[in-house]
Chain A
Amino acid sequence: MSEDFEPKIVGFLCNWCSYAGADLAGTSRIQYPPNIRVIRVMCSGAVDSVYINRALLEGADAVLIGGCHLGDCHYLNGNYKARRRMVLLKNILQTLGMEPERVWVRWISASEGQKFADTVKEIVDETKKLGPNPMRDRWNL
């Protein structure tokens, strides 16, 4: 892989936790790679597979779904449901041989600015090892 590959990451972050965690990372001036594009969602359980599939097919190098810690969901159990949905999504991508490892799920609370920054850094490092998403330059998808 070329040295200067900078992954593009799409992050779907829960309004009540991970999004606030990302905000805290910013206000606390914690440095983290600028590779992530954040989309605020009301719950990780509201992230349908279509959003993730779309991001991947459009060429996102990784997708992060950030939700509340298990047991802490603002809507009681959205993150448990999100977990099942992500297991299914990854299982299907695995069968199709379409790199399920590009899909990341993390539980990050509103107070975990540092964890958010570390998570982004980890995703960037791992995705650099993986290389660019091959779907990025396929016009026929």
Chain B
Amino acid sequence: MEEYLLPLIDGNASRTVNKMLKSLLKSGKVSAVLALQETPSGRSAFSAMVSDPGKLDTNVFAPTLPVSTATMVSRITKHGGAKSPVLVVLRSCENRALTELFKLKQANPVNIIMAGVDCPGTFDINTYSNFPGDGTPTETVFDEKEKGKYMRSACLSCKDPVPSRVDITIGIFGADLKKGLYISASTETGKELLADLKLGKFKDQKAREKAVKEVRERSDAAREKQIRDHSDIKGVDGIARFFDTCINCHNCMNACPICYCKECLFDSAVFDLEAGKYINKAKSKGAFKTPTDSILFHITRFNHMILSCVQCGLCEQACPSNIPLMDIIIPIAENAQKEFEYLPGRDLEEQLPMIFYREEEFEDVGER
């Protein structure tokens, strides 16, 4: 791994990264950059695919995650891989989700160069657009004391804020942000790309390691606390109560980077019954709730996606009823992934648990 110090420009981390991306784009080694760019109104930021260096105006630290860039890469490469290199800038959760989509064969890794940013966290879409704080959202997210007030719960208990399976890391943890950012290249592609920038070496590896360890420990502790605090969401009535305000809109599913099925069972005609069958359905329990099958939808969705769940919290952000989905998803994901010793996004070579098996395993299921 090659580690560099990217000197700060204008005292601004976002602009410093933008300048670096611009020189990479100008070098011609990448034909486009896909990175977070603030909209002209400043009310939001979306990943933009930029080929003209003059139009590159990124803010990779803008604390908002309206859609997962992993989903966008999936869409862009839907009809085959990119013909020329595209540098994609991802948060750590997007990095994990994209790795899962590669494995699920829903995105094509050809010519996709991944740059991961150390993620300081994100705010809810509406908090970002009508920001109640004093500074800008981006200034606030660098303010350790202030940012906690606005962060999404998924970010407070982030599975890992440091991107781990990327060609280039754009780091803030352990770097003296008054001087510069931490940049590293962990693959040949990344090394080749960074070589031209002629950056000085990053010298304080110990500070980097310490800071990464601390930030991971902090979010692990937050996640464990969240699991403890919500251990009461249990049993038929606990689960029914939790989902009581669900309107069965499937927004959680649509926002989820992992839920990729082009034709979801729950959007199909399977659940459209003729009137007589609804009456029979009423007779079987005496009554049923409409819209039907909300809880069936959620529990089945967990079965279908939870092993690849990267805990980005986009489901929760998308919920119009503000159901705190992460309170239920985090424990389910942690337990299920532990059972299969699988960590989504960890390794491209690691097989998805549901596509292989071993003859000798789980022997208590199936027989006495």
Chain A residues in the interface with B (C-beta under 8 A): 48-50, 53-54, 57-59, 67, 70-71, 77, 80-81, 83-92, 94-98, 105-107, 134-141
Contact = CB atoms under 8 A, between A and B. Distances in A.
Given A84-B362, A90-B365, A92-B299, A98 B287 contact: no
Contacts of A92: 299, 302-303, 306, 332, 335-336
B300 interface: yes
Interface stretch (B58-66, B148-156, B232-240, B312-320): B232-240
B362 A87 contact: yes
A134 B236 CA distance: 7
Nearest to A77: B357
B274 interface: no
Given A92-B332, A141-B240, A49 B303 contact: yes
B335 A86 contact: no
A128 to B, nearest CB: 18
Contacts, number: 117
B302 A57 contact: no
A96 B299 contact: yes
A83 B366 contact: yes
Nearest to A119: B368
A96 B332 contact: yes
B240 A140 contact: yes
Contacts of A98: 235-236, 239
Interface in B221-243: 233-240
Contacts of B238: 97
A59 B339 contact: no
Contacts of B299: 49, 53, 57, 92, 96
Contacts of B306: 88, 92
B296 interface: yes
Contacts of A90: 365
Given A95-B331, A136-B285, A139-B288, A83 B365 contact: yes
B295 A57 contact: yes
Nearest to A107: B366
A141 B284 CA distance: 13
Question: Residue among A80, A87, A141 with the most chain B CB within 10 A?
Answer: A141
Question: Residue among B236, B238, B361 with the most chain A CB within 10 A?
Answer: B236
Contacts of B244: 140
B265 A50 contact: yes
A10 to B, nearest CB: 13
B212 interface: no
